[in-house]
Amino acid sequence: MGELIRASVDPASQVARCPVDSPAGRVVSAAVRADADENGTDRIFLLATGAASSATGLTLALADESEQTADELLHAIEEAARKQDSGGRAA
């Protein structure tokens, strides 16, 4: 999981033209290929659950820091994403 987080914060992950070109994409791709070679899902499952655990911890910390509930913070993030997707500027 640490490898995925380090790859995700690599500036190259932010400018890659497609996911597999980014360091984070390569970590995920390697896990998927290794699982496929073994007809399994252990690596990708561990990456997904690790990412979910990391996101949960970050959400709780950000909510606490901004004196919001986790649900309020998630709603604000979702609303900002909707505005950005519709061509508006996220606040």
Domain that holds residue 6: 2-66
**What average pLDDT does the chain have?**
90
pLDDT over 80 (residue 1): no
Identify whether 15 is part of a domain: yes
pLDDT bin (cut points 50, 70, 90) of residue 89 is low
State the pLDDT at residue 19: 85
Identify whether 29 is part of a domain: yes
Identify whether 22 is part of a domain: yes
Mean pLDDT of 38-67: 94
Identify whether 6 is part of a domain: yes
Count of the separate structural domains present in the chain = 1
Interacting residues of 32 by C-beta distance below 8 A, sequence separation 6+? 43, 44
Q: Which 3-state string (H, E, C) describes the chain?
A: CHHHHHHHHCHHHHHCCCHHHCHHHHHHHHHHHHHHHCCCCHHHHHHHHHHHHHHHHHHHHHHHHCCCCHHHHHHHHHHHHHHHHCCCCCC
In whole angstroms, how far apart are CA 31 and each of 34, 38, 79?
5, 11, 32
pLDDT bin (cut points 50, 70, 90) of residue 20 is confident
Mean pLDDT of 31-47: 95
Identify whether 57 is part of a domain: yes
83: which 2 tokens? Answer: 């505005």
pLDDT bin (cut points 50, 70, 90) of residue 63 is very high
CB atoms within 10 A of CB 38: 10
